[in-house]
Every structure is written in structure tokens, then in C-alpha cells.
Amino acid sequence: MTEPEIDYKAVFQALPGAVVLLTPELLYLDVNEEFLRQMGRTREQAAGGRFLGDDFAHSPNDPGAAVVRNVVASLRRVAETGERETMELQRYDGEDPEQPGTRYVRYFSMINTPVFGPDGRMALLMHRVEDVTELIRAREVALSLQEAMLPTPRCLGNHAWAARYRPAIDTLEVCGDWYDLVDLDGDRAAVAVGDVVGHGLPAAQVMGQLRSALSAASRSTDGPARALEVLGLYARSVEGAENTTAAGAFIDWDTRTITYSSAGHPPPALLRGDGTVEFLDRATDPPLGARPEPAPHPEATVSFTEGSVLVLYTDGLIERRHEDIDTGLARLARSLARHRAADPETLADALLADLLPPGGVTDDTALVIVRL
């Protein structure tokens, strides 16, 4: 029995994604039906022999013109290097052709791939486009939910503070990292950060429960160790809370002391006025629920001088694959010393700029900074 001959042109036209074939000089050779549908083009408008860069040449201020310039630059790099390139997400903010005067936003994921001939020379460039608008909108809703679960800005007496949250680029979802600040009686405050294992709504639901529980425990106990003990007992009844890490600190401005405790979490950093950084690592226990039986958490106290800065964070700020955690901690210490005179808001942005990878974080990151 002979195998049926494959009609590759028919396969190309039936591909579910929008695909364009170009010469190495970026001249159109062919486009599939999905490309015409997504781009709102006729086959004549994408006729072979036309230079891709001429798209939107008649309207250089159109948002689509900027996208085309980005596509051309990427394709030229692929033609030069012979390596596939995944472009940054492209946003198109244009006018709805079916409703003149109405604006709409679309997001596109684009991949440019070289196609080599039998002789090993580059014969074609393949430009693939996927409309991911609905996915991005769903993620935006999820991120709004995440932000709603985190505390709203509040006063800590006359003390300045700042907080940041950054989701991982590969998920853009709600996640399990959290931070919390509690204004206590007297000139005191409780600060905490935590990290639930996993991503998505299940992790966010666990995060919301644990953050609320720790916030309540901080208000009703005499220190961070006892608050984490209460949280640990509660976590045993919450599915998905296993191996959650958390760190808490009680700040007392009257006595100028910080009392802290950690459950498997990276140590808070205390930046002193002279630029030295002390990592508060003398009261560390395993993650929540890791012990077979509940046990008291350790607690330690350190003094501070006016103008010092306390920094709590989750591991996304310092940890990198194939890198020792001490390397990340040293990087954090250098950044803190370099920006020690900055106010909390400026310092928070500076730390993110210094420590997070240029392409975005691969793990969620929560950060709290308090000027002491």
C-alpha cells in the first residue's frame, strides 16, 4: 500500500496559527488563511514580492507601523544569525474597522524562524503570529485579583515604607507570594512576607487565607515567633499550605529594636546608616508544617539606630537558577548600600532594577521596605 502524497501547500493554508513565508530579503512569498483572517487583509494586500516593511508605509503614525518595525528588526536578526527568535509581546492599539471611532487593543505573540534548504543555506524565513488578547485579558483580571488580596497602602505612624509585587513573566498569573503590614499599639508595627508553593488560583486562595491568619495573629500575640506558631497550626488545616515559608518582624520605635522570626524564609535585611547590611538569620525554623509535631518557633532581637532600613522580601528577588543563594544575598547587600540614602519608594524601585533580570522575573517577587 502506497502512502498518500502530502499536499504541503494545503497543509500550510490549514495551519491554525497565522503564518507568513518570506525571502531572506523580507519579501512576501505566501501567507496562510489564518494570517489573512487575523490581520484583516486580502490576499492581494499580502501578495508575493512585496517588502514586509512597506506595510503601514502610508500611515507611519499608525500603531501597526511600530509593530511592523519591530518585526522587521527581528527578522533581519534571524536572517543574519540563522537562529530562531521569539519576540517580546506586541501590543496593537488601533481603530476597530467594523466600528469607526472605536479603539481596541490586541496583543500578539510572534516567532521568527529560519528555514534552510537541502544545501544548508537559508531559503526562507517563517513569521508566525498568535493573537493572545483574550489570554492577556484573563491574566490582567487575575493580577487585579492578586492585588486586591494584598493590603492597601496605610500609615505606619510617621514612618515611611514601600511595598512592591512582581509576578513571574512565565505565568503572569495570580500567585502565592504576599506581604503584610500591621500598625500595632504604641509606636510599633508588624511586617511580614510569605511564599506559598505553586501558582494560579489555588496558590492565591491559600495565600489569601494565610496572609489574613498571620495578620490576625500579629495583632493578638506578643511577637513574631508566636504569630508564626499560630499560623503554622492554622496551615495544617489548609490544603495546599504545605511548605509555605514566611518571615515576620515586630518593630518597636520606642525601644529601637526589631524582634524577628522566620519559617524557612530568606532572612530580612537590616541596612544601617553607614551602609553595612546585616541579614537577620538567628531565628530560622523549617517551613510551615514541615515538623511532624508543632513546636515553638525561635525568635531573636536586634537593635537599630534612626535612619536604618528594614527589608523583607521573597526569594524571587535574590534566587537564580544554578546560583548559590549567598550570591543573591551579596547582590542585595551591594544594592542596598549603594542606594542607602534613598527614600523607601525610590529604594524599592532601585532594588527591583538592580536585582531582577532584564527579561523579567522567573519567580514571583514581593518586597517590603520600612525606614526606621
Separate counts of helices (H) and strands (E) for the chain: 8, 17
pLDDT for 1 equals 59
CA atoms lying within 13 Å on the CB side of residue 90? 22
* pTM of the model as a whole: 0.63
Nearest to 260 by CA among 290, 280, 244: 280
Residues contacting 245, CB < 8 A, separation 6+: 194, 195, 262, 263, 264, 265, 287, 288, 315
pLDDT of residue 219: 92
Instruction: Name the residue among 134, 60, 69, 66 with its Cα closest to residue 104.
Output: 134
Question: Given this model, what pLDDT does residue 223 score?
Answer: 94
Question: Pick from 6, 8, 14: which is nearest to 33 by CA?
Answer: 14
CA distance 52 to 168: 34
Instruction: Provide the pLDDT for residue 167.
Output: 72
* Per-position pLDDT tens, the chain of length 372: 567 788 888 888 888 888 999 999 999 888 888 888 877 777 777 767 788 878 776 777 777 778 888 899 999 999 999 999 988 888 887 766 666 677 778 888 889 999 999 998 999 999 998 888 877 776 765 555 555 556 655 667 789 999 988 876 555 455 678 889 999 999 999 999 999 887 666 777 788 788 888 999 999 999 999 999 999 999 988 888 888 999 999 999 999 999 999 999 999 999 999 999 999 999 999 999 888 888 889 999 999 999 999 999 999 899 887 888 999 999 999 999 999 999 999 999 999 999 987 655 567 888 999 999
* Cα-only R_g, the chain: 27
